[in-house]
């Protein structure tokens, strides 16, 4: 008699296990249906992301990114050793000084000066070549207000450089 009772219990456990498996499969199907809906809803964005990944891969950035992420300590070691090289430290300090200098200059004045210098450089081919410039020619040129302003600017720059050299 005990065997019959065990058999009934064993069959009940098997049926319960099958029921659990069915519930899990239904849950998986629900997840799949939900995922299909999301893919359908965001199809355009997914295509754009795949296109972006393709561009990043073709440019080599993806390979670089994978290399960086696979061994970040080695990359950081190389970067830090390069940053500490004397020439790179000097470059960074000079860059910082240049940014500070540019931040103190009126952008409109700098723009005007750069446009005028560019135009002057571009017109160098038009100037008479081989002409000697004597003192009298220079004196006449100094009457031109633009030249006089340029000379004042150059002397101001030279004065700033000279006073910085004294410190």
Q: Tell me the domain boundaries of the chain.
A: 2-70
Q: Which residues of the chain have pLDDT under 70?
A: 1-10, 12-15, 17, 23, 125-130, 167
Q: What is the pLDDT of residue 145?
A: 93
Please tell me the distance from the alpha carbon of residue 136 to that of residue 145, in angstroms, as a whole number: 17
- Looking at residue 167, what is its pLDDT? 67
Distance between CA 21 and CA 18 in Å, rounded? 5
Q: Running DSSP on this structure, what letter comes out for residue 60?
A: T
**Sign of the CA dihedral with 31 first, then 33, 34, and 35 last:** positive
Q: Say if residues 92 and 98 touch (Cβ distance below 8 Å).
A: no
Angle at 118 between CA 116 and CA 123, to 5 degrees: 95
Q: Which pLDDT does position 40 carry in this prediction?
A: 92
CA 136 and chain centroid, separation: 54
**pLDDT at residue 125 in the model:** 62
Contact 29, 22 (CB under 8 A): no
Does the reported pTM lie above 0.75? no
What was the pLDDT predicted at 21? 75
């Amino acid at each position: 008699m005990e065997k019959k009772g065990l058999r009934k219990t064993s069959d009940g456990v098997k049926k319960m296990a099958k029921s659990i498996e069915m519930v899990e499969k239904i849950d998986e199907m629900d997840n799949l249906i939900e995922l299909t809906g999301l893919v359908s809803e965001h199809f355009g964005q997914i295509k754009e992301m795949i296109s972006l990944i393709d561009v990043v891969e073709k440019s080599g950035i993806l390979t670089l990114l994978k290399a960086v992420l696979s061994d970040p300590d080695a990359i950081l070691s190389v970067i830090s050793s390069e940053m500490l090289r004397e020439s790179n430290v000097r470059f960074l300090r000079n860059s910082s000084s240049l940014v500070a200098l540019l931040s103190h200059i009126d952008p409109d004045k700098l723009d005007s000066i750069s446009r005028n210098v560019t135009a002057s450089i571009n017109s160098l081919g038009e100037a008479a070549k081989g002409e000697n410039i004597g003192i009298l020619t220079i004196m006449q040129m100094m009457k031109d207000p633009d030249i006089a302003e340029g000379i004042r600017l150059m002397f101001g720059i030279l004065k700033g450089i000279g006073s910085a050299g004294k410190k």
